[in-house]
Chains A and B, each alone.
Chain A
Amino acid sequence: MNIPSLSIASLKERVESFSLKSLLLPLFGILAFVLLWQVGASRVHTSLGEFPGPSVVYEQWNSLVAEHHNERVKEDKFYERQEKRIEARQAKDPSYEGKLRAYTGKPTFFDQIFTSLYTVLAGFGLASLIAIPLGILIGLNSSVYSALNPIIQVFKPVSPLAWLPLVTMVVSASYVSDDPMFSKSFLTSMFTVTLCCMWPTLINTAVGVAAVEKDLLNVSKVLRLNWMTHVTKIVIPSAIPLMFTGLRLSLGIAWMVLIAAEMLAQNPGLGKFVWDEFQNGSSNSLGRIMVAVLMIGFIGFLLDRAMLTIQRFVSWDKTQVLR
């Protein structure tokens, strides 16, 4: 609206200050960090050699990318060979039905990233499906809150590592199937993530729902809104900011919990990659672990940004500053 009243000069100034703040300063911060890292790393000596600096990490990144490509090429060749063999046999004996065997090569770094990503999203999704409706119920009804609060408070601080053995045993005992849709390791990781990350969403949703302005509740009463309209038109919109605070905290926890669970349980994923490299103990290991550390951080950051984008999309108040 007030753009026409801005002079071109002040507009230019704004654009410039924006790019300075949003690009130049972060870039400066990163550069300073890399420099410190390089200098500091060369002074730390371990039994596996020097602590990996930025240049070593960059080399290892390249080698991980190369390994991934090699593995894909090997996989393609593996299937090609199988198909040829089947075709050859079918030429001799038309009744022969070939069966393609799955490639059993070692999962690469990028395969592990993919595994971790969909595990965390599944675990987080399940947690949200439980926590949001339950949070709304708790926030609306103080009796339900009083009944459930002690349980929530006790389970909230439990570490994923404590849950893991129990979840593993329960999954292996109860999920018995000849042709399983999901692997047991996936289910174990997912349930552990769910159990650990649902609490912030649950609590924040409940608080948001309970904190709906009294005037708006009176409006709802005067209009005699039915329960469903009351919840969808009044309660949920006003609880959305806190709900998203909870969801973002939950997703952050989910990602951290998952890496720990994968390390401990040797379930496929980035955690297992880190643990395998540690056990491997080659001169490249520390560099590769550092690549994984940075990748875990970067993915965590992207997940949070994704949540923020969803919040912007869902939130009614587009002028709200979200960070």
Chain B
Amino acid sequence: MEARATRVSLGVWTLLVVLFLWLPLVLICVYAFNSSNIQSWPIAGFSTKWFHAAWHNEEARSALVLSLKAGAIATVIALVLGTAAATAVSRFRFFGRDAVTFLLVLPIALPGVVTGIALNSFFNNNPVHGLSPSLWTIVIGHATFCIVVVYNNVVARLRRTQTSLTEASMDLGADGWQTFRFVTFPVISTALVAGALLAFALSFDEVIVTTFTAGAQNTLPIWILGNLRLGQQLPQVNVVVFFVIVMTVLPVTVAQRLTRDTGILRRR
């Protein structure tokens, strides 16, 4: 449709943007093989010793495990609550829909540092709720800003699904749960996968809110931050990040294929 010149220049621009997005990631991977523990360019020499060191690093491992746990639990909570909110909103089409969306989007729309200290003062200084930092305080923080991701995906999917389907199901005598289980759920299942993956990604990489809710525990990003401070084990950080990038290629690709209508929050 577009003129050839336009298409070519758009293509060139796209290529440049991809380079811009990926150059730092490539650099991280290159530095993972740096033989020196101090990072300068070009790298001092090639070495795989950091892979060995990172693999045997207990702190890195337990941080990774904690991050995986927190991400998994927060994702499950977000799935349940996000789906509930989305089905309610789309089924009943009540007029407070905008208000619900607004409330759910608030935790990611407000600056992370605000969410962080709000949760921090709430957990720390609140004798009624008295929650001391644990896996659960991390999970609560993460789930709060992950709900909206699932919600948006599911709402988008339901919007495109004809209401006649659920109406037919109800007319045929199915109760609310049966309708959800046999009609709605199959329709939204891929949207849930996409929502879950994005929710997990948000949780897994979160550091600003987590700093205020984690107490003495180290999630992976907090471990990384500690190492940036220390300035001595940076190649190990690169190894871990390299590992994470490699491990996530597959789920991200799968998510993209499963859910052609979902984006960061949704695609259609």
Q: Do A and B bind each other?
A: no
